[in-house]
Amino acid sequence: MTEKLHAPVIDWFDSHARDLPWRRPEAGPWGVMVSEFMLQQTPVSRVLPVYEQWLARWPRPADLAKEPPGEAVRAWGRLGYPRRALRLHGAAVAITERHGGDVPTDHAQLLALPGIGEYTAAAVASFAYGQRHPVLDTNVRRVFARAVTGVRYPPNATTAAERRLARELLPDEDGTAARWAAASMELGALVCTAKNEECHRCPIAAQCAWRLAGKPEHEGPPRRGQTYAGTDRQVRGKLLAVLRDAHVPVPQSALDRVWPEPVQRARALDGLVTDGLVEPLPGGMYRLPLG
């Protein structure tokens, strides 16, 4: 079955893949890496404008490494999960110091960069350098769960069985494997979606174990929902927005105005400081981090 999946999915990708800037040759490995950081838990539509601005300002890792980490947080804007900005800045510094400013080609060296985990290392090695690695994001995991395992949704966290299946499904040839990784991801993003899947558009619908089983409902643990309103994440975002808009330190009073509940506001601010996203100064002043 494995080989029967490859050709139709890759052929579909060749005809239907979105023209995204990080897929163009001029993006280079750094453009691929930036996109992978930004796309984690964030839709393409929100990433596109920030990505373009980021690459225009910092076309190489060394350009970002020269800036204070707070500038990365500022440029991250409202993409959410701003610790990703700090991690990307840390990776840029390490690339500049350890690899002469070039994103390393070796998977182990990618994995050794700060802020880069199993998924991102595999994605950069695959998409930037055409290497053979299993690339397991949420979209790919959902495609594999349905097409091969016959269940509607994958587990909440990636399992050893999923990693084993992803390795088994990898084409043998490097370039084909890299294409398969991108194609299966795109299939999950555009057709085999979490809700309202479009099986009539799917190139492997006739082989899909879940469809052939009658699309049984999800029987595992409840899927995690993402709430935002009223959470500490929302408060953190409001506090960071004040600091991003200010190019000088701001007083505590300016931060106090963004959220009426003092205990939650203080907890959110403490969390930002602990995460290195906000730097406290004497006299009750705060700023984005300089170092």
- 185 and 271 housed in the same domain: no
Same structural domain, 39 and 106: yes
Assign residue 164 a region (left: φ > 0; alpha: ψ between -120 and 50; beta: otherwise). Answer: alpha
**Does residue 150 sit in the same domain as residue 103?**
no
**pLDDT value at 1 more than 80:** no
What's the average model confidence in pLDDT over 35-61? 96
User: Within this chain, do residues 21 and 124 fall inside the same structural domain, yes or no?
Assistant: yes
Identify whether 10 is part of a domain: no
Terminal CA-CA length for the chain:
52
CA distance 92 to 59: 11
Question: What b/e sequence results for 228-253 when a residue is b if at least 16 CB atoms lie within 10 Å of its CB, and e otherwise?
Answer: eeeeebebbbebbeebbeeeebbeee
Quote the crossing angle between the two packed helices 232-245 and 262-274, to the nearest 10°: 70
Question: Percent of the chain at pLDDT above 70?
Answer: 98
Q: How many residues does the chain have?
A: 291
Range of the domain at 251: 232-287
Q: Is 36 a catalytic residue?
A: yes
- Alpha-carbon separation of residue 162 from 9, 114, 186 (angstroms): 19, 25, 18
In tens, the pLDDT along 155-168 reads 989 999 999 999 99
Question: Do 173 and 119 fall into the same domain?
Answer: no
User: Is the pLDDT confidence value at 44 over 70?
Assistant: yes
CB atoms within 10 A of CB 82: 22
Mean pLDDT of the 284-289 span: 96
101 and 23 together in one domain: yes
Question: Which pLDDT band, with edges at 50, 70 and 90, does 220 fall under?
Answer: confident
pLDDT at 218: 87
Q: Do both 159 and 249 map to the same domain? A: no
Which residue in the list 36, 186, 197, 279 is annotated as catalytic?
A: 36
pLDDT value of residue 199: 97
**pLDDT grade for 274, boundaries at 50, 70 and 90:** very high
Q: Give domain status of residue 87, yes or no.
A: yes
Contact indicator for 154, 144 with CB cutoff of 8 Å: yes
- Specify the number of domains making up the chain: 3
Instruction: Kindly report, residue by residue over 119-168, the tens digit of the pLDDT.
Output: 999 999 999 999 999 999 999 999 999 999 999 999 989 999 999 999 99
Same domain as 142, residue 159: yes
Kindly report, residue by residue over 6-34, the tens digit of the pLDDT. Answer: 999 999 999 999 999 999 999 999 999 99
Query: Are 85 and 164 within one domain?
Result: no
pLDDT at 50 over 80: yes
Residues 82 and 171 placed together within one structural domain of the fold: no
Given a cut of 90, whether residue 219 has pLDDT beyond it is no
Q: Averaged over 220-227, what is the pLDDT?
A: 70
Q: Is the pLDDT of residue 221 over 90?
A: no
Q: How far apart are CA 78 and CA 139, in angstroms?
A: 23
Domain boundary among 157, 179, 213: 213
Nearest-angstrom CA–CA distance, 241 and 102: 32
